[in-house]
Amino acid sequence: MAWTTCCPGGEATRGLCRTVCDIRLSLRGRDGQLSRLTYLFYVLFSLPSPVVKTACFSTHFASVKVVTPPVYLDNHATTKPDPRVVAAMWPYFNEIYGNAASTSHRFGWDAADAVDRAREQVAALIHADPKEIVFTSGATESNNLAIKGSLEHVKKRGNHIVSAVSEHKAVIDPLKRLAREGWDVTFVPCDEFGQVSVDEVQRALTDRTVLISIMAANNEVGTINPFGAIGKLAHERGILFHTDATQAVGKLPIDVRADGIDLLSLSAHKLYGPKGVGALYVRRRDPQVRLAPLFDGGGHERGFRSGTIAVPLVVGMGEACRIAAEEMESDNLRILALRERLHAGLNSLEGLKLNGHPAERLAGNLNLSFSRVDGEALMMSMREVAVSSGSACSSSNPEPSHVLRAMGLDEDMARASLRFGLGRFTTEEEIDYAVESVVANVDRLRRLAVLG
């Protein structure tokens, strides 16, 4: 900002205003809190009159952006609900509070209408028919319903399932249980970027394969799998294809028809919606996918998922999907620029390794290993920056990330990793704050390691 045009005090005070500008310029790039306090001190004690103080304060101080810790960079674990989502949900807590299954009065009708709209919004985001959307409590339930429910109707054709070593535990653990029950389960490897190739999936198929389950995008390293090509392969072989798209929906364009997806799992809280609600896409034709419910009791959701629908949560999920459909492209461009800013800022550190595919990855994901530093110790030392050392759903597990180990990282480098998850509400100032914190703490921990 040029001082000759910003000063409201005229020629008499323009020199003082120029000093203010000089102070702001000299402090640019340092800690935002220091800039704010220094400028406030100058305005309060140096300018000649209350009028000039107020005018200069409004002109200069309002443009000083300050980071108020803690900084949230763990958007793969969960996202902040969008205010528009919260606003859409609120009436269904205290005004339109009927049971959507109550068909005898207006309260139930209004609730059912809201659920229908939400179903349409979810379906539109992935190019599905609204009748193909089944609401669940989240992606973990959706994965279990997709895998266990579909097998009940195809077990006469075979008993072989293909998945990948890099899947989320919400897929791996149900498959391990099925293996203990007699199913033949093959976990194909991923490459050094965490990507599962179509060729690896194809080599694993047998004439007894009835289900393929490969995630759309990895929750730890952000690598995007060729799910469209895998879906095409599955349909050519007459095999059901399920994808855990929890991290991908709302961040990547998905067309369940074009991508050959028969079953797709998603969760609202990963796309700025509420926790406690998710959905499962179940293809109705070409082929029609049949599911056996996990539990019985009322026949809700076309008999696939009994239980009273949580109308406020479903409404929130629908609104989150509507916003994502409209703003996905602009969100990705802005978030990608922030991710590159973060990566560039951390590149000054020696021994930095990028984990995941350098190009085919989610815009908001940056997974890095810091050599000679324990990731858990680094994460705990940065109390004001929220990041993750792995999947939040398995963060209590002391073992190093199974995804990073599958990618070929040794145990030390796997333990030296941090996952940064950027999102819709991440700012440049927060990125700069995180860079300063990470660099300072990596340097400190490395010095301590040398002394120790």
Measured between alpha carbons, how far is 337 from 431 in angstroms, rounded to an integer?
A: 11
Could you tell me the residue range of the domain that residue 223 belongs to?
A: 83-323
Report, in angstroms and rounded to the nearest whole number, the Rg of the chain calculated over CA atoms: 26
How far is the CA of 176 from the CAs of 164, 180, 199, 403, in angstroms?
12, 6, 23, 16
Lowest mean pLDDT among 112-126, 130-144, 301-315, 375-389: 301-315
111 and 150 in a single domain? The answer is yes
Active site residues: 393
Tell me the DSSP string of 237-285: TT-EEEEE-TTTBTTB---TTTTT-SEEEEEGGGTTS-TT-EEEEE--S
162 and 27 in a single domain? The answer is no
The model's pTM: 0.85
**Structure tokens given for 348:** 């000054």
How high is the pLDDT of residue 304?
Answer: 78
How high is the pLDDT of residue 63?
Answer: 53
Averaged pLDDT of the chain: 88
pLDDT at 28 over 60: no
How far is the CA of 356 from the CAs of 243, 361, 389, 444, in angstroms?
19, 7, 14, 26
Q: Of the candidates 299, 323, 347, which is a domain's last residue?
A: 323
259 and 349 in a single domain? The answer is no
312 and 206 in a single domain? The answer is yes
Closest by CA position to 61, among listed 53, 71, 69: 53
Closest by CA position to 114, among listed 147, 132, 90, 136: 90
Number of domains forming the structure of the chain: 3
Q: Which of 21-35, 41-55, 404-418 has the highest mean pLDDT?
A: 404-418
**Structure tokens given for 30:** 């340092």
53 and 89 in a single domain? The answer is no
pLDDT in tens, 30-87: 344 444 444 444 444 455 555 444 555 455 545 556 677 899 999 999 999 999 999 9
172 and 255 in a single domain? The answer is yes
